[in-house]
Amino acid sequence: MSTKMIRTSIPLLTLLGVMLLLALGPGAGRAVAADSAWRARYWNNRNLSGDPVVQRDESAIDHDWGGGAPHALVGDDNFSARWSRTVDFSAGTYRFTATMDDGMRVWIDDQLLIDAWADSQVRTLQADRALSGGEHRIRVEYYEAGGMAVAKFSWQQVGTAPAGVFNNWKGEYFNNVSLTGQPSFLRDDREINFDWSTGSPAAGIAADRFSVRWTRSLNFPAGNYRFDVFADDGVRLWVNNVLVIDQWRNQSDGRFSANVSLNGATSLRMEYFEDQGRAAVSLSWNPPGGSPITGGGTGGSTGTGPWFGEYYNNLNFIGAPTFTRNDAAIDFNWGAGSPGAGIPVDRFAVRWTRTVPLTAGNYRFDVFADDGIRVWVNNQIIIDQWREQPAGSFSASISLPTGNIPIRVEYFEGTGRAAVALSTTPALPATGGGTTPPISGLTATVTGTGGARLNIRSAPGGTVTGQQLQPNQTVGLTGFRSADSGWVEIFRPGGGTGWVSARYVTTSVVVSSLTVR
């Protein structure tokens, strides 16, 4: 090529480069942000030459292909691969582990860290590297000659954090669901308020099947506190070494609360595990430094006294509320507007709580909501309609003892109209004999055939509550049935409601005449 040709080609290449950056958009010229996955490329040769035959994203480099291939377009032998990713690390020393059959090499910020580019049986190599806090580029290259094909790469922070660096929550992150062994890394978390979705909480932690332990000590002014947690999946909380919330299981969008009386220095420990799918967890407590809002009134009145309202600018009660206030009643029609400053007109949530002194009897709760609504009475959920819906009306009845009864109502607004209301009916007098009095004289009597007991369930065909009815025992009907008339809702002896099979009870009215719930 002549000198003239070389000189004229340089401006052309520059122009092409500028055009490419413009085509990629305004962010193309900036440094690459931390990636949630590896960018993988595969070649049908050993030296990564030419164009890759397969390109895809992979959540981890954790492959044991045996005698097979990583893809239908890739041969079983004589192939190569390159994985690249930018990762946001906390400052510290990390141990990088590479397992390969045959060759592998690893670069951190374009500096070669592990060089094992030779035919071999399965082997594992490790190398330590001190990293500054922030983003670092990682590149892993691999080739397979013949026989078995294995390519694995991971890292973990080694050693422990220096004393005194945890000014907030000490977060210990584990690459397993049981918090076993040494944590993969430690971090000073300002708060427990995370929604990682389907991603990873940090470098070196898989997107699924990980766990975290947070610990710290705080001083609380004397008062009664309600701790609220949200988790998908398992969560448990200790306050002053007492386990107050234990929901260690796979679950979607779990919300749990516990009331604790505190005064002074308090140790807190929260543990969480993620199995699969969405990963999210949060912790908050209310009211800070005070006692819970309680309703006034006497003689079983449920219409006086304030509700403590907590208003959130998200649908899942994550983090601290945007604001709190005392609401005289739950009776709002915001239309297309907002309930208050800082709350959007759509996609918000509210939690109301109060404690009310009631006399023993059966109470009926009626709610109206557009969109989702849930109601707990005496720590039992009696209405659960947590979904987007236009103008839904729902009712539930419950038998309550004499005493201070906690009530909690949760509401969310999706889009469109925002409206919610709650009301109750007067209590019916309680009767003796251990049987819940029926409403309007509706009863169900267990058939005595065979002397078998009848299970009470949480919903039609749902889980068994552990409580059973005796043959020939009579209980009150709430007035609701399932859509297929196969189940009826009853008042449970001792309080609360449940469902029983209509096949094994004799009812005082035709089941099909009851209201479908």
At residue 372, the pLDDT reads 92
Whether residue 479 sits in one domain with residue 412: no
The CATH number given to whatever domain includes residue 57 is 2.60.120.260
At residue 249, the pLDDT reads 92
In degrees and rounded to multiples of 5, residue 15 shows phi and psi of -60, -40
Residue 323, burial from CB neighbour count under 10 angstroms (0-12, 13-18, 19+): middle
CA count, 13 A, side-chain hemisphere, 77: 6
pTM of the shown model: 0.34
pLDDT digits (tens, 9 = 90+) for 290-343: 333 222 222 222 333 478 889 999 888 887 788 888 887 888 888 888 898 889
| 292 domain-assigned | no
Last residue of a domain, one of 429, 458, 482: 429
Whether residue 408 sits in one domain with residue 500: no
Q: Of 352, 444, 483, whose CA–CA distance to 406 is shortest?
A: 352
Give the tokens for residue 239. Answer: 């306050």
CA count, 13 A, side-chain hemisphere, 385: 23
Query: Contacts for 317-324 with beta carbons within 8 Å, 24 or more apart?
Result: 317/228, 317/230, 317/255, 317/282, 317/349, 317/351, 317/410, 318/193, 318/195, 318/230, 318/280, 318/282, 319/191, 319/193, 319/282, 319/284, 320/284, 321/284, 321/286, 321/351, 324/286, 324/287
3-state secondary structure of 5: helix
pLDDT digits (tens, 9 = 90+) for 145-182: 988 899 999 988 775 444 445 678 888 999 999 998 88
Domain count, the chain: 4
**Contact of 309 with 370, CB cutoff 8 Å:** no
Cα–Cα distances in angstroms (integers) from residue 370 to residues 291, 418, 421, in the given order: 31, 6, 10
| 32 domain-assigned | no
Separation of alpha carbons 1 and 30, rounded Å: 35
At residue 230, the pLDDT reads 86
Give the tokens for residue 326. Answer: 């005392």
Residue 385's domain spans which residues?
Answer: 307-429
Ordered alpha helix ranges (H), 427-489:
none
**Contact of 478 with 489, CB cutoff 8 Å:** yes
Whether residue 64 sits in one domain with residue 97: yes
Whether residue 180 sits in one domain with residue 143: no
Residues lower than pLDDT 70 in the chain: 1-34, 159-166, 286-305, 425-441, 448-451, 494-495
Whether residue 45 sits in one domain with residue 151: yes
String of DSSP letters for 15-82: HHHHHHHHHH-TTTTSPPPPPSSEEEEEESSTT--SS-SEEEEES-EEEEEETS-SSTTS-SSSEEEE
Which residues fall within 8 angstroms of residue 213, CB to CB, at 6 or more apart? 171, 172, 174, 179, 183, 269, 270, 271, 272
Whether residue 71 sits in one domain with residue 46: yes
The CATH number given to whatever domain includes residue 481 is 2.30.30.40
Residue 440, burial from CB neighbour count under 10 angstroms (0-12, 13-18, 19+): exposed
Whether residue 502 sits in one domain with residue 452: yes
Cα–Cα distances in angstroms (integers) from residue 327 to residues 105, 314, 351, 364, 369, in the given order: 64, 20, 11, 21, 17
Q: Of 333, 356, 337, 355, whose CA–CA distance to 346 is shortest?
A: 337
| 30 domain-assigned | no
Q: Is the peptide bond prior to 287 cis by the omega test (within 30 degrees of 0)? A: yes
Separation of alpha carbons 442 and 514, rounded Å: 10
Whether residue 105 sits in one domain with residue 189: no
Whether residue 195 sits in one domain with residue 141: no
String of DSSP letters for 269-329: EEEEEE-SS-EEEEEEEESTTS-------STT--S-S-EEEEEESSSS--SS-SEEEEES-
| 458 domain-assigned | yes
Q: Which residues pair with 422 in a beta bridge?
A: 367
**Contact of 268 with 227, CB cutoff 8 Å:** no
Whether residue 450 sits in one domain with residue 410: no
Q: Is the dihedral of CA 156, 86, 61, 145 positive or negative?
A: negative
Whether residue 454 sits in one domain with residue 388: no
| 214 domain-assigned | yes
Last residue of a domain, one of 128, 157, 186: 157
| 10 domain-assigned | no
**Contact of 104 with 112, CB cutoff 8 Å:** no
Separation of alpha carbons 319 and 197, rounded Å: 16
Last residue of a domain, one of 398, 429, 460: 429
| 81 domain-assigned | yes
Whether residue 453 sits in one domain with residue 419: no
| 301 domain-assigned | no
